Amino acid sequence: MNQEKLQQQIKQLAAEKDALLIAHNYERDEVQEVADITGDSLALSIEAEKTEKKVIVFCGVHFMAESAAILAPEKIVLLPRADAGCPMADMVTAEGLRKLKQQHPDATVVSYVNTSAAVKAESDICCTSSNAVSVARSIDAKKLLLVPDRNLGHYIAKHVPEKECILWEGYCATHDQLKVEEVQQAKADHPDALFMVHPECRPDVLELADHICSTSGMYEFATKNSAKKFIVGTENGILWRLRKENPDKQFVMPNREMICPTMKITSLEDVLRCLETMEPRITVAEEVRIKAKQALDKMLAIPRD
């Protein structure tokens, strides 16, 4: 079956099942194309909570579907591929975090949304790449445990020098691979381009940035800025929407290997199959969900910059 027919079948079946199709910014182009909403992980989970649809098809990775299930427990949350995980999220476990908390009982745990529900349940508050600094600044404690991304942790620590920041040694393998020399070469090749980069990249790469932001921030920056060319420091799935919203602008990848394999694992066939079978369904145990939601709710209560 060709791509267009698959997309038509998915749309028809989604309507029959009263399903909202949502896709992360890093998913395959054709999957983003068929989605009702595209965005970053938390924004999509909030849309899942708000929608009146009974079913949420989350084209992303496991922790994202869990977040939707945490915020919208009354809805059926489907993840087209059960094996779509996040290597960085897997670098921290609830047990490991509990042990670190015992070593630092006076610290506040700030957990990136790119973590499992079980880890969120062990956390005091969550953060995203777009609000991480605001979250850190809102906390009265002088010591923070930042979990699990060391690169995002370094970025936060730089903006809250008055606080002691203890970093978990996790990282995003996709963002962490971007090197200074690759960015410098891209800047040399495109001297008129602005470099926008995700805070999951290495600190020395962030030093070269014209703008550090989340994926949603990149869409806004590229659209509002008068520049006509941008060097993009994040997973290449973002290019589909950037080019769609800015057809008159050019976007350059400094590293063409910045591809998240688990974000690209979901195909249109997987989306169709999950609507047909209503599986795999993602659920979160209620005792875990309640604690995890408290950490998310604390974050959501903080005013945006």
pLDDT tens by residue, the chain, 305 residues: 699 999 999 999 999 999 999 999 999 999 999 999 999 888 888 898 899 999 999 999 999 999 999 999 999 999 999 999 999 999 999 999 999 999 999 999 999 999 999 999 999 999 999 999 999 999 999 999 999 999 999 999 999 999 999 999 999 999 999 999 999 999 999 999 999 999 999 999 999 999 999 999 999 999 999 999 999 999 999 999 999 999 999 999 999 899 999 999 999 999 999 999 999 999 999 999 999 999 999 998 987 65
Which residues belong to CATH 3.40.50.10800 in the chain?
A: 3-84+263-284, 89-171+287-300, 178-252
Q: Name every residue whose Cβ is closer than 8 Å to that of residue 185 and which is 6 or more positions away in sequence.
A: 254
Cα 59 to Cα 266: distance, rounded to the nearest angstrom:
7
CATH class in words for 89-171+287-300: alpha beta
Residue 248 φ then ψ, to 5°: -95, 5
Quick one: which of 60, 53, 106 has its CA closest to 79?
60
CATH class in words for 3-84+263-284: alpha beta
Query: What CATH architecture does domain 178-252 belong to?
Result: 3-Layer(aba) Sandwich (3.40)
